[in-house]
């Protein structure tokens, strides 16, 4: 698959959107955005996550690679501050660290975490229904540069997260900012 082809498909979708009433040029709908993200398919990108935590004097920087495969495989491979791998497939997280036995955790045991991971997978796979089930959404910007702000509907999740702000260029997600209920904040930037 080439980028050109995808672009063409996205442009076609956008064109169709433009032709349909009410016609509003440049504005992006969630469905269009999600269609674009879905079309992008599997992802593998390096990231830097900056954590602003209340208990820490400075910020904490986590570096590594984020990998996503349709429909629900997600992997974070950290290289710094220490090597570790988080692999999420269906309902299970596997945590492995060099020199240690890997550990498996059922997502269902931690509903807020499950909801958070579900939403991340939903965004990466362009699943608008799940996103709208879990969050109130607010979309701004254009198809060139957009910002999607998510506010949890579910109380379970709202106990932990105030909002999540996703930013992207075209069908590429480049920044995830998470504001937690206890005041901590993290910014994850994808390269």
Partner 1 sequence: MTSARWLRIAPWLLVLAGCLAWMSGFLRVESSLSVFLPAERGRAGDALLDELRQGRGAQVILAAISGGSESERAAASRALADALRSDPAFSFVGNGADGLDPAVIELLFEHRYLLSPNVDAQRFTAESLHEQLQRRLETLSSPASVLERRFLPADPTAELSGVLQAWQPEQGPDRRHGVWFSPDGERALLLLRTRAEGFDLDRQQRTLDQVRAAFATAAPTGLTLALSGPGVFATQSKNTIERETKLISALDAIFAATLLLLAYRSGRRLLLATLPLGGAVLVAATVVDLLFDGIHGITLAFGATLIGVAMDYPVHLFSHLDGSAPPRQRLAKIWPTLRLGVITTVAGYAALAWTDFPGLTQLGVFAVTGLLCAAAITRWLLPDLLPESYGRPLGPWALAIASGALRAPRAAPLVAAAVAVAALGYIVLQRDRIWENDLAALSPIPEQARHLDQELREQLGAADVRDLVLIRAPDLETLLQRSEAAEPALTTLQRGGALGGFDLPSRYLPSQARQRQRQSSLPAGQELATALNAALEDLPFRPDAFQPFLQDVEKARAQAPLTLESLAGTPLELRLLPMLGRSGDGWHAFVPLSGIKARATVADTIAGAGITGVAYIDMRQASSDMVAGFRDEALDRMLWGAGAVVLCMWLGLRSLRATAAAAIPVAAAVVTDVALLLALGERLSLFHLISLLLVIGMGIDYSLFFRHQAGGDDQRQTVHALLLCAVSSSGVFALLGMSQLPVLRAIGLTAALGVCACFGFAWAFHRATGASADAACL
Three-state DSSP class for residue 58:
coil
For the bound state, the minimum distance from the C-beta of residue 125 to partner 1, rounded and expressed in Å, comes to 17
Pick 107 or 139: Cβ nearer partner 1:
107
Quick one: which segment of 16-24, 34-42, 47-55, 142-150 binds partner 1 (CB under 8 A)?
A: 47-55
Regarding 184 and contact with partner 1 (CB under 8 A), the answer is yes
Quick one: which segment of 17-25, 28-36, 53-61, 131-139 binds partner 1 (CB under 8 A)?
A: 53-61
Regarding 1 and contact with partner 1 (CB under 8 A), the answer is no
Sole binder of partner 1 in the list 131, 161, 166, 190 (CB under 8 A): 161
Regarding 113 and contact with partner 1 (CB under 8 A), the answer is yes
Cα dihedral: 94, 36, 162, 156 (round 10): -50
Sole binder of partner 1 in the list 41, 48, 73, 112 (CB under 8 A): 112
Sole binder of partner 1 in the list 12, 16, 18, 108 (CB under 8 A): 108
Regarding 145 and contact with partner 1 (CB under 8 A), the answer is no
Pick 69 or 160: Cβ nearer partner 1:
160
Regarding 51 and contact with partner 1 (CB under 8 A), the answer is yes
| CA pair distance 18, 28, nearest whole angstrom | 10
| CA pair distance 79, 74, nearest whole angstrom | 16
| CA pair distance 133, 86, nearest whole angstrom | 26
Regarding 107 and contact with partner 1 (CB under 8 A), the answer is yes
Exposure string for 39-63, b = 16+ CB within 10 A, e = fewer: bbeebeeebebebeeeeeeeeeebe
Local structure of residue 110 (DSSP, 8 states): S
| CA pair distance 128, 120, nearest whole angstrom | 11
């Amino acid at each position: 698959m080439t980028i050109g082809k995808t672009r063409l498909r996205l442009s076609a979708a956008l064109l169709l959107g433009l032709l349909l009433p009410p016609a509003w040029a440049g504005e992006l709908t969630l469905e269009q955005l999600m269609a674009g993200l879905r079309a992008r398919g599997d992802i593998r990108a390096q990231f830097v996550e900056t954590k602003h935590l209340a208990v820490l004097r400075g910020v904490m920087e986590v570096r590594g690679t984020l990998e996503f495969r349709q429909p629900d495989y997600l992997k974070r491979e950290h290289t710094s501050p220490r090597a570790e791998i988080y692999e999420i497939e269906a309902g299970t997280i596997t945590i492995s660290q060099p020199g240690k036995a890997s550990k498996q955790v059922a997502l269902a045991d931690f509903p807020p975490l499950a909801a958070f991971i579900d939403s991340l997978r939903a965004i990466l796979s362009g699943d608008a229904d799940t996103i709208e089930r879990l969050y109130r959404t607010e979309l701004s910007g254009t198809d060139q540069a957009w910002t999607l702000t998510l506010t949890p509907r579910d109380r379970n999740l709202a106990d932990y997260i105030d909002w999540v702000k996703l930013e992207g260029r075209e069908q590429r997600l480049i920044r995830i900012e998470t504001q937690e209920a206890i005041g901590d904040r993290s910014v994850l930037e994808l390269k």
